[in-house]
Amino acid sequence: MRVRDKVVGQSGKPFGSSLQKDFSAVPAGSSAPFRHIIPLLPLLPLVLLFAGGLCLALGQSFGMWLPFAYDGGVWDAYTALAQPHVFKSILLSLWVAFVSAFLAVWLGLFLAYGVWKLPDTLQKYAVIYKAPLVLPHIAVGFIILVFWGKSGILSSLAYHLGAIEQTGDFPTITYSPYGLGLIMAYVLKGAPFVIILAYGMLKRFDFRLVQTARMLGGSESIIFFRLIVPFLKPVLHTAFIILFLYAVGAFDIPFLIGGSVPEMLPIKIYNLYFKRELTDRPQAMAILSLMFLFSAVFIAGYLRLAGRMHQEERKL
């Protein structure tokens, strides 16, 4: 028996010929855009809310759409931000965000590498690092406050051991003008996030490369910085961007353990909008608008710089 070249349907015509005839009546590419848009329709309410909020913030920063009569000019809210206390808040926010994100990324990287090298029987017990992820940020702030506050556990322990004469002599960690307590809280919360991302990528890494490097005389530092870090760079860059921008705009932890002078930017926005005169609200919206612009520029610039550095490393 010879196998037929074409599959024949019940009508005796080649199977698929009717489908080709039906689709030929539809203009080419007419339905293609809709096929890509339809899966994104559930995100439309979120996009509209975000776009509406952004437009409202921009409008109110220019003195429009306010619930009161505003006598100032269009740029008055932005020019009013050119004050020393605003610059101090900006510098403090950038300092806390950069240091906490940097420390969280490297600490999470080292811990993920350590968990990855554990035997399979012990790796399942290392899930304890996920505990801070379950806690909300406000709970992590309370943990820092309970342990590192002037009336906290460590200050009381130092007092009973005779290291300090009174609990007030304990170093200022919480409510510090340098954001030390904020940095500790963000590192405690961000490092497990980095561990999850880095450990998930390391599960795909071929361990035989590490064994080969050891056979060729490579030390642990060479293996870590020449094999592991380059492999995890995309994940580390993404984690740094997320942690940095979150620390710049987060409100809960600075509200709990942040210093009053200078203020973190979210606290300054809160005070301008809720605790000051109504005429100060455009300044709060101006800061919000500038923070959004900074976030967009930072993401674009950081990714471009990281890509350029990666290309230079490949040339070497």
In a domain, 95, yes or no: yes
SS3 annotation, the chain: CCCCCCCECCCCCECCHHHHHHHHCCCCCCCHHHHHHHHHHHHHHHHHHHHHHHHHHHHHHCCCCCCCCCCCCCCHHHHCCCCHHHHHHHHHHHHHHHHHHHHHHHHHHHHHHHHHHCCHHHHHHHHHHHHHHHCCHHHHHHHHHHHHCCCCHHHHHHHHCCCCCCHHHCCCCCCCCCCHHHHHHHHHHHHHHHHHHHHHHHCCCCHHHHHHHHHCCCCHHHHHHHHHHHHHHHHHHHHHHHHHHHHHHCCHHHHHHCCCCCCCHHHHHHHHHHHCCHHHHHHHHHHHHHHHHHHHHHHHHHHHHHHHHHHHHHHC
Q: Are 115 and 123 in contact (CB under 8 A)?
A: yes
- Highest mean pLDDT among 18-22, 46-50, 249-253 belongs to 249-253
**Which pLDDT band holds residue 123 (cuts at 50, 70, 90)?**
confident
Q: Does the pLDDT value for residue 148 go beyond 60?
A: yes
In a domain, 197, yes or no: yes
**Which pLDDT band holds residue 90 (cuts at 50, 70, 90)?**
very high
In a domain, 122, yes or no: yes
In a domain, 69, yes or no: no
How many domains does the chain contain in total?
1
In a domain, 8, yes or no: no
**Which pLDDT band holds residue 314 (cuts at 50, 70, 90)?**
low
CATH code, domain carrying 155? 1.10.3720.10
Total-model pTM: 0.82
In a domain, 307, yes or no: yes
In a domain, 29, yes or no: no
pLDDT digit string, tens, across residues 253-284: 999 998 888 899 999 999 998 988 888 889 99
Domain carrying residue 154: 78-315
